[in-house]
Amino acid sequence: MRKPRSTLITTAGMAFAAALGLLVSFAGPSVGEAEAAPTGIRVSDGHVVEANGNEFVMRGVNHAHTWYPERTNSIADIAAKGANTVRVVLSSGDRWTRTSASEVSSLIGQCKANKVICVLEVHDTTGYGEDGAATTLDRAADYWIGIKGALQGQEDYVIVNIGNEPFGNTGYAAWTDATKSAIGKLRGAGISHALMVDAPNWGQDWSGTMRDNAASVFASDPDRNTIFSIHMYGVYDTATEVQGYLKHFVDNGLPIVVGEFGDQHSDGNPDEDAIMATAQSLGVGYIGWSWSGNGSGVEYLDMVNGFDANSLTSWGNRIINGADGIAATSETATVYGGGGGTGGGTAPNGYPYCVNGGSSDPDGDGWGWENSRSCVVRGSGADR
């Protein structure tokens, strides 16, 4: 999304209903094409998997590191709420202060220490073509190549999200070629990580550009290791739109993640219940926006107040403790010793986590009751 302090968020597009109604089918890649070398996080048969072949379904939170580098506890706080993924905002230096290679190494170390997968993204590309301050995917690729040393050897723990929302609502037809070029540039430079690519139209793809060209973009990656990311805000205000978009990718054997979404927005009211339920039913990852620090009238997107992990907002409580939320559906990556699949797991005090999160705990004391036994609400005061 457009972020955060001085850039006001406007309507992502008015023609979404017609655009999303024209779901064009195409043949996805064959199973053989979708298989990457078994190193690190990769794509296999349309699914995101770890090196051992275990499917990894992202349940995560975005963290605006580049604007709040002093908030060094945020990754740990997010992990403590049960997330298995943190999408970290970086800067190539084209618009904000460049995130150095040493800083990236530190962030990766924090992710590993807290047993979450790091999705690292360059934010300077946001709204290119419409926002004059935005930079190109090519420049973002240069950034990744410039910090290659911090990334090498981290393929089990890091996904490289090339550039956030790389086109606005102007010039977005260039998305396909620009994305293919950036992928080729990174692969040519020896970056073998799983790559993530955001949709145009401020990430919401109301034009169907990413949807209709995803197969050719995927095939352009010599490693066949590219994940597509849709951002769901006001364009996705009905279950039909949410389901139609995500199911199109799943049905065509193409990996898709909801890389950002919220429970309300200035361009319309996203259907967060449908987003989370559909992602869960299809085995699709989601990463909510965002932990804290939103400004310019979208403070309602904060999950916690003032970076205080003990002060959940209504949105934070919804995504963490609600139905199909992080606490109920997140599983730690097996590279950290997680078991894979979905379910509650066991709290440090030996009691099982509540699969249904806060809905099992009507009095809010952190203790619930499921399957004829006590359970712990993940991230609550009882979770110790």
The set of catalytic residues is 165, 260
Q: How far is CA 178 from CA 36, 242, 307, in A?
A: 22, 26, 36
Half-sphere exposure of 205 (CA within 13 A, CB side): 31
Query: Residues 6 or more apart from 135 whose CB is under 8 A from it?
Result: 92, 94, 95, 124, 125, 128
Measured CA to CA in angstroms, residue 27 lies from 21, 35, 210, 303 at distances of: 19, 16, 15, 39
Instruction: Report the alpha-carbon distance of residue 18 to residue 22 in Å, rounded.
Output: 7
